[in-house]
A and B are shown apart, each in its own frame.
Chain A
């Protein structure tokens, strides 16, 4: 069974640009969550999607957005990039949303560097 796939794995952008990251969940998983990982802040929750609907949102500015498609694949977009957006962006999938769902399955992440 294939794991969570994130593309691209690495990318470099400059300030002011925008970026789109993609996540393909494990087959059959309908919930997708995104996290930002940085050395100083650790792992911070961005948002969660289920059945193309955003169910939960973290404390990030509106420059961070996401969406989920009917096949459960998800994308996140960051507009007007800032140096502080440099981070590892992790996607995680699970079969169902809600409390007591258990394990999240993480991808290897997309490492974004903003120059």
Chain B
């Protein structure tokens, strides 16, 4: 079955630390990949997306993600986190023929401490 896994459920970092959140999916076909973020009290918003081309994509607020097809992974990275990055991060995938149906991972709650 098609699924999306986020292995880190809770992450606590100090400001200026580097961040990497894992995302893996199970599916052998074409995928579109997304990272969404939900800041406290706010709606979900798109951080970045990958459809094709350069597997290293850059998003808003200094975030980037790398698609590694052989590992079925789309990990999110940021070299230096800020307190304002405290939020819940969701990896999401559209599988071939899925229309607009996003399959989400269970999310990673990131807390950045001063």
Contact = CB atoms under 8 A, between A and B. Distances in A.
Nearest to B30: A99
Contacts of A104: 46, 100, 102
Contacts of A94: 100
Interface string B43-71: 11110010100000000000000000000
A89 B84 CA distance: 25
B45 A106 contact: yes
Contact of B99 (A41, A55, A106): A55
B75 to A, nearest CB: 18
Nearest to B51: A100
24 contacts: A4-B43, A35-B102, A42-B90, A42-B107, A43-B90, A43-B102, A44-B104, A48-B100, A48-B101, A55-B99, A56-B98, A56-B100, A90-B43, A90-B44, A92-B44, A97-B100, A98-B99, A99-B30, A99-B94, A99-B99, A103-B34, A106-B43, A106-B44, A108-B42
B106 interface: yes
Interface string A16-43: 0000000000000001010100000111
Which one of A4, A43, A98 has the greatest number of beta carbons of chain B within 10 Å? A43
Contacts, number: 68
Interface of B: 30, 32, 34, 36, 42-46, 49, 51, 90, 92, 94, 96-107
A56 B100 CA distance: 8
Which one of A44, A106, A108 has the greatest number of beta carbons of chain B within 10 Å? A106
